Chain A
Amino acid sequence: MNPDLPGAGRNGRTPGGPAAGPERVRVTGPRARGTLSPGRFTVSHELDEQSEVGELFIRSLIRSQLRLALVVAGGFGAIVLGVLLLVLFFPGSYGVTVWTVPLPWLLLGLGIYPVLLACAGLYNRAAARNERRFRELVSEPER
């Protein structure tokens, strides 16, 4: 049984996920992600054995991912707070205009979004890097 799919296959089919039958191929798109079945081969299943070393690795992975997420969220929060304070308490910022649009409108209507995207992109790369390191650590001894 594939534990990744609780409740699936109640109509009698095996919960084979994306690789279940030939008709699935039609809808997986050009990237053919259907060939990898996540969940079935995850590292977590090896770690199901509950070895102390595996547990230690997982704990350190969770810690580093959480730290990364908190740092990115904190950075974004600080920027938003800065803009908020500027807009609320420095009416002088309305005097700065680009094409007749005052600075607070530019910051809130336009400027925050690239910051948001930059945060997301940075986080995405760093999170993938954390996972790659973990994978190297875990899979090395058995290959």
Chain B
Amino acid sequence: MNPAAGFAALAAVCAATVLIGIYGLRISRTTGDFYVASRTVPPWWNASAIGGEYLSAASFLGVAGLILVSGLHGLWFPIGYTAGYLMLLLFVAAPLRRSGAYTVPDFAAARLDSRPARLVTSAVVVVVGWLYIVPQLHGAALTVRITTGLPGWAGAAAVVLVVVCSVVTGGMRSITFVQAFQFWLKLTALAVPLFFILLALGSGSRPVDTGGAFLPGAGPLPVYGTISLLVALLFGTLGLPHVLVRFYTNPNGPAARRTTVIVLGLLSVFYLFPTVYGVLGRVHTADLAAAGQADATVLLLPGRVVGGMAGDLLTALVTAGAFAAFLSTTSGLVVSLAGVVSQDLFRGSVKGFRRAAVLSALVPLAVALSTDSLALAGSVGTVFAFTASTICPLLLLGIWWRGLTDAGAITGMLAGALLSGGAILLAAVFGTGLGPFRELLEQPAAWSVPAAFLVTIAVSRATAPRRPASVSRMMARLHAPERT
């Protein structure tokens, strides 16, 4: 493909992001604006922003790559990513908005009336955020390498640079603009090339499906793997820090619920596109799977099918969409991490927020540059397992169960972190040497999430006298509807 088109696409997306960020700066004034856009964003706008922030490298590139490699079973990823929002709607959205906290640690502190619980939650949130940023930077490295021929680190560094600039100057308010824009950019960047691809396939009498696209995958049935993956994705989404912080930008509880329903609709439409790319990729870019470059399916398919000048333009559009995905998810994570870090380390000032933003972006950059890319959807899946085992029990039990104590929440989070984190590390280090246990350790969510819940409940029961005195008031605050 033509590197000039790739460069132009990257430059355009970065420029648009920075420009919208500067526009946002002009109307972002108070500390409230900086952290959560003063909670005045209307549902449609907020939903687009949530979609823009959530659709990461794993969704834009990873889903198609996964379908290319593992066929039908790859379809469970977008289902889990979307259904996670249903769980968020059912159990978390409105009460969390009413809690009035800025971040998950704020929620823990308010609900449990405990400083240690707040600190442990902060530490977990920071780990989750960093783990989640790393695959975004790997995706950026892959995209830059394939579309421009530059070394991969340039892509990761560019993402971090643009994100830090836009976050430091505008905070959450401009991020909301940027992310809403980037959702629609991502959708367009997949939909328009797909239209031309199908047109070219239709008119050129080339087969859309040679029969091989839909064959069931070989090998044993991944029963445990699929169930564990679904547990991780369903319960991991509601603990993701960058998703949660978005809900505070809703004006009230019912608006938070409405926003979530709109997000579900937007995601349902969006995931049709990577799915079709994956299916077409099984016919037209099948060689990428063997080359270990399955994640490049979305980037290469337009050029392979359409070709020529038109192919270059379409590739440039897809590249722009991919870069929007890395930028928006990374900036969302950096905003939420900076919110957490600055409240605990820098006492919540705007200056502290800026410092924390730089810190939150540089650490994962260092990790990304010193590690190699795995399959994008897979590595994001392990982050979901970790989140589901740590933050999810705190949120669900904190919102719905009066009996939760700070000791229970802390031991539950630590147990979940040790179990899921340890299992994933073991699987990564020993790999095939683990035999039949490998699958159990690679996808720990099916057992580590229930274990974390059990530990949390058991310790809370044993330390029942530590229940905060404010629990009745807090429950009323979380669940009583706003008056209008």
Contact = CB atoms under 8 A, between A and B. Distances in A.
Interface of A: 3-11, 13, 15, 17-18, 20, 23-24, 26-31, 33-34, 36, 38-39, 41-44, 47-48, 50, 54-55, 58, 61-62, 65-66, 69, 72-73, 76, 80, 84, 87-89, 91, 94, 100-102, 104-105, 108-110, 112-114, 116-117, 119-121, 123-124, 127-128, 131-132, 134-135, 138-139
B265 A9 contact: no
Contacts of B482: 36, 38-39, 41-43
A80 B480 contact: no
Given A39-B482, A127-B257, A17 B39 contact: yes
A5 B479 contact: no
B108 to A, nearest CB: 12
A6 B214 contact: no
A4 B481 CA distance: 14
A39 to B, nearest CB: 6
Contacts of B90: 69, 72-73, 123
A118 to B, nearest CB: 10
B268 A134 contact: no
A130 B479 CA distance: 11
Contacts of B275: 109
Contacts of B100: 3-6, 39
22 contacts: A6-B106, A6-B110, A7-B348, A9-B32, A15-B32, A26-B27, A34-B251, A36-B482, A44-B98, A44-B480, A54-B476, A58-B475, A94-B216, A113-B271, A120-B261, A120-B264, A127-B94, A127-B257, A131-B254, A131-B481, A134-B480, A134-B481
Interface of B: 27, 29-32, 38-42, 45, 72, 75-76, 79, 82-83, 85-87, 89-91, 94, 98, 100-102, 106, 110, 173, 209, 211, 214, 216, 221, 223, 226-227, 230, 251-255, 257-258, 260-261, 264-265, 268, 271-272, 275, 279, 343, 347-350, 400, 472-473, 475-477, 479-484
B72 A104 contact: yes
Main SS class of interface, A: helix
A24 B40 CA distance: 9
A43 B480 contact: yes
Contacts of A9: 30-32
Given A7-B343, A36-B251, A39-B100, A120 B38 contact: no
A33 B79 contact: no
A13 B31 contact: yes
Contacts of B279: 105
Contacts of A114: 268
Contacts of A36: 251-252, 482, 484
Contact of B261 (A13, A17, A44, A121): A121
A74 B87 CA distance: 11
Nearest to A81: B227
A124 B254 CA distance: 8
Nearest to B483: A41
Contacts of A31: 42
B223 A88 contact: yes
Contact of B400 (A7, A28, A66, A101): A66
A29 B272 contact: no
A6 B483 CA distance: 21
